[in-house]
């Protein structure tokens, strides 16, 4: 117990020492995960909308597939993409292995099923009248779709938050695809894995605290927005 307290104290000291390597690691984490979420979200929302409101063969199979993919282990995604991007793999010429772009691809694959499954559930439960009203008022289908999405925005925001939470905290695919290269592909989680393997537990805890604090900030911001919205009503 004394060791854990001591390590946490050292960790807090490190956080406020303003180590530049530390901030490079933090910014890589956020830049990669934000890019992945930004790219995945519009496509996932559109697909979720179709799954919720369009009727086509194979729809149920698709829904079950995405629900199953929620259990996809990050290392399996990492390994698969590693083999695809490797020098001997089919996309080896793109030279994307051990780059941030490669990491973004891995994280898109990881968060996409989660975004689809959660936003599908939200859109499925949405009040149909918003759609009907919009169409009656002369909105084009895509405008009506946006209206419907706006009606259930909190559910959709929750889906994005959960997706972001999953990928910023994953270590398996970032380690395999990114390679944990300092100033290029070392993010918070791979750095924690590294510090642990070095026996530098304080560094690992410090990075863990940063990860949690930033998640906390994000959630505060979201609930603040929601509270302001509620007050305006």
Partner 1 sequence: MKKILYKTAFLLIFFVTGTCTGMADTSFINLATTTSTDNSGLLDILLPAFEKDKAYEVKVISVGTGKALRLLREGDVDVVLVHARSAEDKLVADGYAVNRRDVMYNDFVLVGPDSDPANIRGTTDATNALSRIVASKSLFVSRGDTSGTHKKELQLWEQAGITPKGQWYREAGQGMGKVLQIAGELDAYTLTDRGTWLAYRNKVSLVIITEGDKRLFNPYGIIAANPARYPDANYDGAVALINWITSPAAQNMIGDFTIDGQRLFVPMHDPLQSTK
Contact 151, 127 (CB under 8 A): yes
Alpha-carbon separation of residue 66 from 60, 121, 148, 152 (angstroms): 10, 12, 22, 21
For CA atoms 33, 39, 43, 46, give the dihedral sign: positive
**Binding to partner 1 in span 154-193, by CB under 8 A:** 175, 179-184, 186, 190-191
Minimum CB separation from partner 1 for residue 41, in Å?
30
The SS3 call for residue 112 is helix
60 binds partner 1 (CB under 8 A): no
Give the nearer residue to partner 1 in terms of CB position, either 200 or 222. 200
Nearest to 33 by CA among 94, 74, 66: 74
Q: Site mask, partner 1, residues 111-150, x = CB under 8 A?
A: ----------------------------------------
Instruction: Count the residues in the chain.
Output: 233
Contact between 203 and partner 1 (CB under 8 A)?
no
Q: Is 5 in the site for partner 1 (CB under 8 A)?
A: no
Question: Which spans of this chain sit near partner 1 (rule: CB under 8 A)?
Answer: 1, 3, 86-87, 97-98, 175, 179-184, 186, 190-191, 194, 196-201
């Amino acid at each position: 117990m004394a060791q854990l307290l001591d390590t946490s104290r050292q960790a807090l000291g490190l956080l406020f020492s303003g180590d530049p390597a530390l901030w490079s690691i933090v910014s890589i984490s956020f830049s990669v995960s934000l890019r992945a979420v930004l790219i995945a979200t519009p496509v996932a929302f559109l697909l979720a909308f179709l799954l919720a409101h369009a009727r086509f063969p194979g729809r149920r199979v698709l829904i079950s597939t995405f629900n199953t993919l929620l259990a996809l282990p990050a290392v399996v995604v990492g390994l698969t993409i590693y083999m695809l991007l490797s020098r001997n793999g089919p996309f080896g010429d793109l030279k994307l292995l051990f780059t941030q772009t490669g990491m973004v691809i891995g994280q898109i694959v990881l968060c996409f099923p989660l975004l689809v499954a959660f936003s599908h559930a939200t859109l499925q439960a949405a009040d149909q009248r918003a759609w009907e009203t919009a169409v009656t008022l002369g909105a084009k289908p895509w405008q009506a779709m946006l209206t419907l999405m706006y009606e259930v925005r909190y559910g959709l925001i929750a889906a994005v938050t959960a997706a972001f939470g999953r990928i910023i905290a994953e270590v398996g695919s970032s380690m395999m695809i990114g390679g944990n290269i300092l100033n290029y592909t070392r993010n918070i989680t791979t750095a924690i894995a590294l510090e642990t393997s070095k026996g530098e537990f304080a560094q690992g805890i410090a990075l863990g605290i940063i990860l949690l604090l930033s998640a906390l900030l994000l959630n505060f911001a979201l609930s603040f927005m929601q509270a302001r919205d509620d007050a305006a009503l």
